[in-house]
Amino acid sequence: MDGIVFFRTERHDDVIEFYRDLGAEIWLEQPECTILEAGSFRVGFCAGSEADTEGIVTFVFDDRDGVDELYEQLEARADGEPQFNDTYDIYQFFASDPEGRTVEFQTFE
């Protein structure tokens, strides 16, 4: 079974460009919707009168190097440097996309 998470967006092109810059590829274009794919993760953004910004979009990497590489790219948007989270046994950092959605980058330790 596969799945897709969809969000409404007011800034479709900016949001798609942001996630494409992270390495996501366009999986499917539909009228007013773009579905992106990164590994086995799919997320869709559809034009709307307001943006859905609740929840967290999380990208999972094989190791800390992947997290660190994205941190270098997104340092200006990041909430802080990557760090180890004892509670969940993960290495992570958070950033925001162009509409303010929380985006997490993590690896399980």
> What tens digit of pLDDT does each residue of 5-35 get?
999 999 999 999 999 999 999 999 999 999 9
Tell me the pTM.
Answer: 0.89
Total Cβ atoms within 10 A of residue 4:
13
| From-to residues of CATH 3.10.180.10 in the chain | 1-52, 54-108
**73 secondary structure, DSSP code:** H
Specify the CATH number of the domain 54-108: 3.10.180.10
Q: Does domain 1-52 have CATH number 3.40.1190.20?
A: no
3 state SS of 100:
coil
pLDDT > 80? residue 1: no
List all residues 6 or more positions away from 59 whose beta carbon is below 8 Å from its beta carbon. Answer: 22, 38, 41, 70, 103, 104, 105, 106
For 54-82, write each residue's pLDDT tens digit.
999 999 999 999 999 999 999 999 999 99
Q: Give me the percent of the chain exceeding a pLDDT of 90.
A: 96
Alpha helices in the chain (DSSP H): 12-21, 64-74
Neighbours of 109 (CB within 10 A): 12
